[in-house]
Amino acid sequence: MCNRLTLVLTIVLIGSAASAQTKRTSGQATSSPLSQASDLTGVWMRDAPPSTTQHYESLQYWVYEFNVEEPHMTAWAEAEYKAAKPANGPHPVLLSETNDPVYRSCVPPGVPRIFLQPTPLQIVQIPGEVLMLFEYDSLRRQIFTDGRVHDTALGPSWMGDSIGHWEGNTLVVDTVNFNDKTWLDRVGHPHSDALHLTERIRRINHDHLSVDIVIEDPKAYAKPWTAHLEYQLQPAWTLAERFCEDDAAFLEVEKKETMPGK
């Protein structure tokens, strides 16, 4: 009788353990899916949509800023924008004259501007986290997908505090807690410490990635404005070492090549 009872209890315990393991595995798959469509892993380079490569005005929009139309700025933001002296865009100044914080002080570009730097990024997925590794300045961005809430204990930062969740095959990223020391783009649109970004990142197909961004900052803009970026997979690439200090000569060449009539 004792042996039978022991056998029954053993079977029940084994079954319970297997059920619990199944639930844990199922829960992990739900919070961080690893299907081909939701696997964002790879080295990606920004890809110009065909409609934006026909003439200089559209090309500089793709390279230097997010939208052709100007967002509706507050008085503070408009004054900051007019005071900006970018080294890029349709009316660049010499590097010696720019007040761009990236090139003047070699500070991080921040988000979302980091997406406009002409360098690739690598996405790495691990349980509970998506990592973005940027070639530019070897910057990293952590997007936590383990269900935590925003952590602002360390104070405002260059890259902000990012948490994400999955909606089907789309990674939805919510980022807050920025400092106000960067530009939104490479032509001087400012932002305040109230900046709030929402990104929807998905793999369109094996070779293409789509990033949709909603930019909200009530101190700088009257209403949210949006951006759409596309990336192409570069399976043979690895990230090189590249830093702000190395960019002076490159920027001079880049500026000459993108000037009208060149």
Q: Is the pLDDT of residue 245 over 80?
A: no
Instruction: Quote the pLDDT of residue 21.
Output: 39
Spatial distance between the Cα atoms of 132 and 138, rounded to a whole number of angstroms: 10
- For residue 29, what pLDDT band results from cuts at 50, 70 and 90? very low
Residue 150, both tokens: 């925003």
Residue range 91-120: mean pLDDT, rounded: 93
Q: What is the pLDDT of residue 80?
A: 97
Distances (CA, A) of 222 to 36, 70, 189, 261: 39, 12, 14, 36
Instruction: Give pLDDT, residue 36.
Output: 63
Residue 2 has pLDDT above 80, yes or no: no
Residue type, 220: A
Mean pLDDT of 46-59: 58
Residue-range domains of the chain with CATH? 38-258 (2.40.128.20)
- Secondary structure E strands in the chain: 42-47, 121-126, 129-134, 140-144, 161-167, 170-176, 196-205, 208-216, 225-233
Q: Could you count the other beta carbons within 10 Å of the beta carbon of residue 230?
A: 16
pLDDT of residue 13: 39
The tens digit of pLDDT for each residue in 186-242 reads 999 999 999 999 999 999 999 999 999 999 999 999 999 999 999 999 999 999 988
**141-198 tens-digit pLDDT:** 999 999 999 998 989 999 999 999 999 999 999 999 999 999 999 999 999 999 999 9
On whether the CB atoms of residues 150 and 163 are closer than 8 A, the answer is yes
- Using the predicted structure, report yes or no on whether residue 121 has a pLDDT greater than 50: yes
Q: Whole-structure pTM over 0.85, yes or no? A: no
pLDDT in tens, 68-103: 789 999 999 999 999 999 998 888 999 889 999 998
In residues, how long is the chain? Answer: 262
Angstrom distance (rounded) from CA 249 to CA 118: 14
Both structure tokens of 240: 């090189």
